[in-house]
Amino acid sequence: MRMQGGEAGSWPERLPYKKGTAIPPGYTLKTRTRLGLVIAGAVTFGTAYAASVATAVVGTAQGSTELIPLLVPVVGPMITIPTYYLAESRDDGGTAVGVLMLDALVQSGGLVLLMAGLRFKKKELVRKDVGLSHVEVTPMPMGVGGLGLGVMGSM
C-alpha cells in the first residue's frame, strides 16, 4: 500500500480523530471501547466487592447474620450499617460506619468507571494495513515424536 509521502509502514498506526476533520488517505475511522476505564473500573469495583464478600462470608461462618447485606453489590455496605449496629450494642467510635461508607463509595466509583468505559467509545483513525488478518500453516509437533500441521494466525 502506497501513501502520499512514503510507505504505509512509516506512518503512525493510530491517529487521534477530531470530529469534522477529513480522514487522511490510507486511514479508516474505528470506534473502540475505552479499555483503560473498563480495566480501572473492574479492578476497583472487584477489589472492594471481593472484600465485602469475604467479610460477609467470614462473619456468617462465625454465626453472625448482620453482615449478610454485604453480599449485595454497591448498596450492601450502606444496608449493613444499621443492621450491624442494631444486632448488638456496639461502640467502636464510628469506625465501622466509616469503613462501610468508604466501601460503598469505592464500589460505586469503580462501577461508574466501568460503565463509562463501556458506554463512551473512543474514535480514532487506524491505518488500513494495520489489523489485517494473518493465517500461517506451519509444521508442529504432535504427540510423542510425531509431526503434523498447525494453523496459527491473528486477527
* Tens of each residue's pLDDT in the chain, 155 residues: 445 555 555 788 888 898 888 998 989 899 888 899 999 999 999 999 999 999 999 999 999 889 999 999 999 999 998 888 776 766 776 788 899 999 999 999 999 999 999 999 999 998 887 665 667 767 778 778 777 777 777 66
Does residue 48 contact residue 102 with C-beta atoms inside 8 Å? no
115 vs 121: CA distance, rounded Å:
11
Q: Where are the domains of the chain?
A: 2-33+121-154, 36-119
23 vs 48: CA distance, rounded Å:
43
Helix (H, G, I), strand (E, B) or coil at 51: helix
pTM of the model: 0.69
Q: At what angle do helices 95-119 and 76-87 cross, to 10 degrees?
A: 170
Helix (H, G, I), strand (E, B) or coil at 119: helix
Q: What is the pLDDT of residue 83?
A: 84
